[in-house]
Chain A
Amino acid sequence: MKNNVLIIGGGPAGMEASAQLQRLGYNVILIERESTLGGHLNRWDRLFPEGVPASEPLEALMKNMNGVKCFTDTEIQSINRLDKSFNVILSNGITVLADAVLIACGFDLFDASRKEEYGYGIYDHVITNADLEAWFQSKSDDRIDNPKRVGFVHCVGSRDEKAGCRGCSKVCCVTAVKEACEIKEAFPDAQVYCFYMDLRMFGRHYEDLYLKAQKDYGVRFIRGRVSEVSENQDRSLLVKAEDTLSSKPVQITLDLLVLMAGMRHSEAGRRIADMLNLAPEDDGFFAVRNNLTANQQARMPGLFLAGAATGPKTLPESLADARSAAAAIDHYLTDIFPQTRKLKKLVKKNG
């Protein structure tokens, strides 16, 4: 008898974990709220640091999904922990008895309109990182009209206790730098400004991208958080910040302002946590059994976590996390279910 593993969320982490567990011989059921798999990756054009089209890793992930039972447009209606398994009722009416559950619900993008002073949804030329990625894909957005002066605001809804998020969203710095370069490619005459508090170029090749933005694209980095945006009569934007390196207020008129909305916990994920009576950590993301050594284990036997469900992650980090989760699930099922253990031994013996 094959164990049933239910994976909640069909983004990169959920897809990668599904493929891994399928290969390990489990019966994998993946559910996804949206109509297609891929999560946020579907809405991203190119990826940092090298600018690889997002469709490439997406296709690679898709290729390995053979045999995985996927239910799209499907949500969790109820989930209960039984003695050794989970009883899960899906919104499509199907009931699944899962021996292990992996939550790969990902993240929600911070609602940039909550930073009222930036005027997202009020001023004509204020957009978000997600809007810009959509424009890179479609080249259609009335708000982007051959801009000559473009600004990026880092940390929108990140490192902001008042916005309900004290933590860093990790990927926005390098995404801003990537998008700044792309804007220069799309509009070579444009002047591009990045308003940052700290530039967190932590990943491999990120610093190279930063250097390229400075050297090849002449992006101006201004250390200071944008404090207020207003709209001029011609619908250009008046942007105020402090240039903290010279301790002086700075002001600039821009034609387009891109807000780097950060990662917040997934509300859909929170609903599942509530059904299981699992309290989140302070940052709103899922609590893990141990932040150093048991990152993929939730605080409930048989429940596992992968990807941005446990905090902001880059794509490769999410994928690695998913593979770790798959290994953890494999260990768990082998330990808990004697049949699984026997089956494994048999397979080993018979080659």
Chain B
Amino acid sequence: MIYEGKQRIWSDYQKEIPDDHYFYVRSCIRQAFFTGSEVAFLDITRNRLGKDIFESEHHTTCGGIAYHSDTIPHETVMTIVARQFALMHKYGYENYVCSCITSFGVYAETLETWREFPELQAKIAEILMKTCRLEFAKPKYIVHASDLIFKFRYQIAARAVHKLVNVRTGKPLKVVEHIGCHYSKMFPSKGVGGAEYPYVLAGMVEAWGGEVVDYPERRHCCGFGFRQYFVQANRGYSLSNTHKKFESMEPYHPDCIVTNCPGCPYFLDRWQYVIAEQTGKTYGGDGRGIPVLTYEEMAGLVMGYDPWDLGLQTHQTPVESLLDKMGIVYDEKSKYLGKGGKDLGQPAHPSCLKI
């Protein structure tokens, strides 16, 4: 692998990411799956880095899941998107940052559709006014939250409490970076580093001391695939795609996986359990799985957040092996205690995957 060759490609895909003043929209599923991620993003950007990240309780889902499962008309999705943008405008912002890759893809696709079909944009503006009494507006910049963490990666590194380095060996941790398909596969120019060799997560890993693992199935979908998962009869396809990725990354012995999409960490995390149950195979050392993190969780660990405040206890594949490698001290007893010491209950033990 020739690193300079990748750098050449990265230099071709530079994306303009404003430094400050963003309207932030959450993901509908990340709040449930990765409970601490969005909180960590807001805390890092607002409180640690002093950025103006505005959030409104009036924003909704982007409609992406319904869109990708063909359950709502395209016009409806576009109107939902227009409403989000209109809220941004109403609150005086022109930079839009979203937490979810599916949303990011829906926004990018919608803006491109409006650019190609101005008559459709006019129609949506009219529907927006009729239904929501909101003025149509488009963001000046639209970025994904991982773009922002990427932009601030050196500032985060400067505040790092832990590095992506094995404290016992002193060697960089081997990190698999997995990019959500809708981040740049549809519009390579909209992603940091393009679509074939995206740099958004690789840049974070490098800045925080880790080593990126480039394995053969790196570009492959995590396996979510919307309808491949939603319909139970198709779920085997979802599982098989994830399985293909794990088989491909296995020889590299990665210490963890970092992702920037809601679906990817969920499936790379949960399917490890299902694969273990069905085939008896696990991909971390010693019968364990490979810990899967969101980019906010990784940034949070680097900045010294408590792993349980980041919500890492809700992962199916335990993260303790990674915490140990990074030299992060954690309290085993409080793992399943919620806010104010509330007992969250204990998960059942899988028969194969060691926890």
The answer to whether B217 and A116 touch across the interface, beta carbons within 8 angstroms, is: no
CA distance A229 to B197 in the complex (A): 12
The answer to whether B5 and A230 touch across the interface, beta carbons within 8 angstroms, is: no
B194 at interface (Cβ–Cβ under 8 A)? yes
The answer to whether B214 and A231 touch across the interface, beta carbons within 8 angstroms, is: yes
* Chain A contacts with B in 41-93, Cβ cutoff 8 A: none
Most chain A beta carbons < 10 A, residue from B5, B195, B197, B215: B5
Which of A113, A122, A123, A228 is in CB contact (< 8 Å) with B219?
A: A228
B157 at interface (Cβ–Cβ under 8 A)? no
CA distance A228 to B248 in the complex (A): 15
- A117-B196, A228-B219 known; A124-B9 Cβ under 8 A: no
The answer to whether B8 and A124 touch across the interface, beta carbons within 8 angstroms, is: no
Interface residues on A, range: 10 to 19
A232 at interface (Cβ–Cβ under 8 A)? yes
Which of B9, B195, B217, B252 is in CB contact (< 8 Å) with A230?
A: B217
Which of A113, A117, A120, A232 is in CB contact (< 8 Å) with B216?
A: A232
- Inside 8 A of B214's CB, which chain A residues have their CB? 230-231
- Inside 8 A of A124's CB, which chain B residues have their CB? 1-2
- A231-B1, A233-B251, A233-B252 known; A121-B216 Cβ under 8 A: no
Interface SS majority for chain A: loop
The answer to whether B216 and A238 touch across the interface, beta carbons within 8 angstroms, is: yes
The answer to whether B216 and A230 touch across the interface, beta carbons within 8 angstroms, is: yes
**Shortest distance in angstroms between A225's beta carbon and chain B's nearest beta carbon?**
16
The answer to whether B5 and A121 touch across the interface, beta carbons within 8 angstroms, is: yes
CA distance A2 to B4 in the complex (A): 54
Most chain B beta carbons < 10 A, residue from A116, A120, A124, A231: A116
For B218, give the chain A residue with the smallest CB separation. A230
- Inside 8 A of B9's CB, which chain A residues have their CB? 116, 122
**Shortest distance in angstroms between B3's beta carbon and chain A's nearest beta carbon?**
9
**Shortest distance in angstroms between A72's beta carbon and chain B's nearest beta carbon?**
31
CA distance A238 to B217 in the complex (A): 9
Chain A residues engaging chain B, CB cutoff 8 angstroms = 113, 116-117, 119-124, 228, 230-233, 235, 238
Chain B residues engaging chain A, CB cutoff 8 angstroms = 1-2, 5-6, 8-9, 194-197, 214-219, 251-252
10 pairs from A and B in contact (CB 8 Å cutoff): A113-B8, A116-B9, A116-B195, A121-B8, A122-B197, A123-B1, A124-B1, A230-B214, A235-B1, A238-B216
The 4 closest A-B pairs by CB, nearest first: A122-B5, A121-B5, A116-B196, A230-B216
